[in-house]
DNA sequence: CGCGAGCTTGATGCCGATCAATGCATGTGG
DNA sequence: CCACATGCATTGATCGGCATCAAGCTCGCG
C-alpha cells in the first residue's frame, strides 16, 4: 500500500476529451468534433487517486461524475451491520458516481485498487450541456440504462449460478472488457484480491481460490497469484451457459 | 385467472398526468402545473395488460417507458440455459422499461401479475421535452439513479444475506412501498407466488415457504396463503440489521 | 532475514437445495 | 352437486455445496 500523500490532487492544466485516446469508450462516444469541444469546456480537471484511497465515500455530497482515465476501481455498499458487497469494478473509460444522482449524496464507496486518474465531470454542467446536445443526452441515458442492465446480469449471477459458473462469468466479463481496450484477452493480471472477487460474486475467498485451482487442474487456465492465463475460453463459456448436468 | 381477451388495448381517450392521483409518486414529481401540461401532451395513451400477459418481452423494440397506473408487474431476465431471475416487482407509480434505453431493445420481460394498466411515455418525446424542462430532466435522472441504487441493494441482499434476512428485507420493502401509497403497512396480499418471491431473493420456493412458517411460529406475522399480517415489524427490522449471532 | 498480507488447501458442519408426499383452494365437466 | 384435475403451498427427509475453522505457504517489503 505504497501511497503518495492523501491530499486531493487536482491537475490544473487543461485536459481534452477531444484528444483523449479513450474517447471511443467513454462519455464522448459518437459525438462530433464540434460537440466534443463543448464537452471539453466542462471536463476541465483531472484528479489523481492513489491506490487504496477513496474517490468518494458513502454520504459524500454528489457534485460530479468521474470517468476513469487510468487505473482500476471498485465500488462497494454496506449494510448497517458491517457486511459489505462489492457492486462493481471499473476500468479505463468507465463512469463512476451515477449512484449519487438520486439523492445528491453518494450511496457507495469508490476505492482505487491501483494508482488511478479520473476526469471530473461536474454534473450540473453535464445536465445543462445535454439539454443542448441531444447526442450527448442520448448517450448519457444509454450509459445509465446499461448500468441497470449490467446490474440485472449480476443479480442473475448471484441468484442462480453456482460458484464455478460465477467465477467463469466474471473472468469472461473481465477479458471481454480488456479486449475492448486493446489488451490481450488471454493473459490478465487481477487488480483485486480473492476476497474482493468473492464479495462481488457472493462467495468466500476460499471458495474463489478453490475454483481457480479447479480450473487450473482442468487445464482451463493457469493461475500464479494474480497472473491469469486463460487457455480455454470456450470451456469458461460452456460453464456459464449449458451447465453439463 | 379471469383474463380479458389478450388483444393489445389502447385507450383512445385523453389521459392527464396533471389530474392523476399518482402524480406525487410518478414521473411528474415536483413539476409545476404548466410543466405538467407539457407532459400531458406526450403521455397521451394508456394500455391495459391482463394478468399473466407481457407488457414487453426480451428483444422487443424499445420505444417507450411505462408508468404503472394500476396493478402489479414483475420483470425477469433469463440466461441462455433457461434459468431465470426476477429482477423486480413494480407497483402503481413506478416506471418500467428503463432497461431498453441502452440497446433500443428490451432486455427483460415485464409481466402483469394482476390485471393492470400503464401509461405510455414515448421515449423520444420524453427526451425532447426534458431538453426543455430541466426539472423533468433532473427528475428523470434521479429515477434512473435510484434504480441503480436499488439494484445495488438487491446485490447486497443476494450476496450476503441468509434466507430469513432476505425475506424480512423483502417484506419490509413491500410494506414500505405500500405505506407510501396510503395502504396499511401491516396487512398485505402478495401478488406473486412463492416461486416468484424465491426467484427474486435467490431462494427456492420451499425455502420461502419455510421462512414464512418460521416467522409465523415466532409470532412475527401470520400467513394464510397470500394474505400476510405483519404483527411485529421491528422483529423484521432486527433481522435485516443486526443478526443476533 | 523476518514479518505480514494475501493465497492455498484440508477437515468439518450447516444452510438451503432437492426429492417427495400431502394439503388446500379453485375451477371444470359429468 | 360431486368427482376430479390443476396450481400453489406446506411439510418432512435427505443430500450436497459452500461456509467455516484451521494450518501452512508464497511473495513483497522494510
Rounded (5°) CA angle B178-B182-B188: 40
**Nearest CB to B152; choose among A108, A128, A160:** A108
In this structure, the number of other CB atoms found within 10 A of the CB of residue A153 comes to 16
Give the model's pLDDT for residue A48: 95
Strand B54-56 and strand B9-11: pairing?
unpaired
- The per-residue pLDDT for A81 is 85
Q: What's the CA gap between B41 and B17, in Å, rounded?
A: 9
Residues of chain A with pLDDT under 50: 1-5, 244-245
Cell of B23: 402524480
Residue A241 pLDDT = 85
SS3 B224: strand
Phi, psi dihedral angles at B182 (to 5 degrees): 85, 10
User: Closest nucleotide (CA of A225 to C1')?
Assistant: C7
pLDDT score recorded for residue B2: 41
Q: Which residues of B touch A108 (CB under 8 A)?
A: 152
Contact B100 A241 (CB under 8 A): no
- Quickly tell me which residue has 405483519 as its cell: B230
DSSP 8-state secondary structure symbol assigned to residue A146: H
- CA-based nearest residue in chain A for residue B124: A138
CA distance A240 to A168: 6
Residue A127: its pLDDT value, please?
A: 98
Q: How far is A76 from chain B (nearest CA, A)?
A: 9
* C1' (C4) to CA (A194) span, angstroms: 17
Q: If you measure CA to C1', which residue is closest to nucleotide D18?
A: A207
Q: How far apart are CA A200 and CA A203, in angstroms?
A: 8
Select the residue from A152, A165, A169, A200 to test the B interface by mutation, using most B Cβ atoms within 10 A: A152
Question: Which of B149, B157, B159 lies closest to A106, judged by CA?
Answer: B149
The Cα–Cα gap between B179 and B172 comes to: 10
Asked if the Cβ–Cβ distance from A151 to B155 is below 8 Å, we say yes
- Residues contacting nucleic strand C by the 7 Å CB criterion are A 190, 193-195, 205-206, 208-210, 212-213, 223, 225-226; B 1-2, 162-164, 202-204, 206-207, 225
Ramachandran bin of A229, using left for φ above 0, alpha for ψ from -120 to 50, beta for the remaining angles: beta
CA distance A52 to B175: 39
Enumerate the β-bridge partners of residue A166. Answer: none
Residue from B21, B243, B31 nearest B136 by CA: B31
Of chain A residues 138-157, which have a CB less than 8 A from chain B? 138, 141-149, 151-156
What's the grid cell of residue B210? 419455510
List per-residue pLDDT tens for chain B, 245 residues long.
444 444 566 655 567 999 999 999 999 999 999 999 999 999 989 999 999 999 999 999 999 999 999 999 999 999 888 899 999 999 999 999 999 999 999 999 999 999 999 999 999 999 999 999 999 999 999 999 999 999 999 999 999 999 999 999 999 999 999 999 999 989 999 999 999 999 999 999 999 999 999 999 999 999 999 999 999 999 999 999 865 44
- Report chain B residues whose CB lies below 8 A from the CB of A130: 131, 137
**Residue pairs between chains A and B whose CB atoms are closer than 8 Å:** 165
Q: What angle do CA A183, A185, A191 make, to 5 degrees?
A: 75
Q: Using CB atoms and an 8 Å cut-off, which of residues 154-183 of chain B contact chain A?
A: 154-156, 158-161
Distance CA B123, CA B42 (A): 9
Give the chain B residue whose CA is nearest to the CA of A169. B79
User: What is d(CA B113, CA B2) in angstroms, rounded to the nearest whole number?
Assistant: 12
- Closest-approach residue (CA) in chain A for B203: A159
Question: How do A9-11 and A45-49 pair as beta strands?
Answer: antiparallel
Interface contact A124, partner B, CB < 8 A: no
Contacts of B146 (CB under 8 A, 6+ apart): A102, A103
Whole-prediction pTM value? Answer: 0.94
Amino acid at each position: 500500500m505504497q501511497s503518495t500523500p492523501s491530499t486531493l490532487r487536482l491537475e490544473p492544466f487543461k485536459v481534452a476529451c477531444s484528444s483523449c485516446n479513450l474517447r471511443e469508450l467513454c462519455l464522448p462516444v459518437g459525438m462530433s468534433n464540434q460537440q466534443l469541444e463543448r464537452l471539453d469546456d466542462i471536463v476541465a480537471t483531472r484528479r489523481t487517486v492513489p491506490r487504496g484511497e477513496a474517490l468518494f465515500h458513502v454520504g459524500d455530497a454528489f457534485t460530479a461524475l468521474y470517468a476513469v482515465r487510468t487505473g482500476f476501481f471498485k465500488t462497494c455498499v454496506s449494510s448497517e451491520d458491517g457486511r459489505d458487497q462489492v457492486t462493481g469494478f471499473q476500468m479505463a473509460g468507465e463512469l463512476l458516481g451515477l449512484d449519487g444522482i438520486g439523492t445528491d449524496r453518494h450511496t457507495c464507496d469508490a476505492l482505487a485498487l491501483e494508482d488511478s486518474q479520473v476526469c471530473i465531470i461536474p454534473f450540473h454542467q453535464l445536465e445543462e450541456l445535454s439539454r443542448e446536445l441531444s447526442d450527448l443526452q442520448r448517450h448519457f441515458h444509454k450509459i445509465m440504462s446499461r448500468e441497470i442492465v449490467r446490474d440485472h446480469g449480476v443479480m442473475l449471477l448471484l441468484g442462480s449460478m453456482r460458484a464455478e459458473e460465477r467465477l467463469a462469468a466474471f473472468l469472461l466479463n473481465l477479458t471481454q472488457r480488456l479486449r475492448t481496450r486493446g489488451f490481450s484477452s488471454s493473459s490478465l493480471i487481477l487488480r483485486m484480491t480473492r476476497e474482493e472477487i468473492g464479495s462481488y460474486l457472493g462467495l468466500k475467498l476460499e471458495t474463489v481460490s478453490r475454483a481457480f485451482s479447479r480450473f487450473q487442474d482442468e487445464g482451463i487456465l493457469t493461475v500464479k497469484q494474480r497472473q491469469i492465463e486463460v487457455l480455454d475460453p470456450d470451456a469458461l463459456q460452456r460453464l456459464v451457459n449449458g451447465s453439463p448436468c
